[in-house]
Amino acid sequence: MAKGYWVSVYPAISDPERLTPYDKLARLAVQAGGGRVLSRGGRIVAHEAGITQRVVLIEFDNFEQAVAAYESEAYQKALVALPDGVERDFRIIEGID
């Protein structure tokens, strides 16, 4: 069965320290949903029209689990803590089996 992934790119973060409450709640929600953080804002080399801002990649055992984790009460609480001044491109994608 193909894995599921959360892919988040942050083109703009006005105050990175204001992400701390969201990060804590999101980490707990991801763990409870069976997700594994593969990348969280490490080094980036961008090509073509790529951007070098923060990228977060989280892996789940399957696509349905990734969607369920996003829709969970725990992650919805985390989203409420996402501060103003954060521009985010978030996607849930299915991997190749």
pLDDT of residue 83: 87
Q: What is the mean pLDDT of residues 58-78?
A: 98
pLDDT tens digits along 5-34: 999 999 889 988 888 999 999 999 999 999
pTM: 0.90
pLDDT tens digits along 33-58: 999 999 988 888 889 987 788 899 99
Collapsing DSSP to helix, strand or coil, 10 comes out as strand
Q: How far is CA 27 from the centre of its chain?
A: 9
Q: What is the mean pLDDT of residues 67-71?
A: 98
CATH number of 4-94: 3.30.70.100
pLDDT of residue 60: 98
Q: How far is CA 72 from the centre of its chain?
A: 14
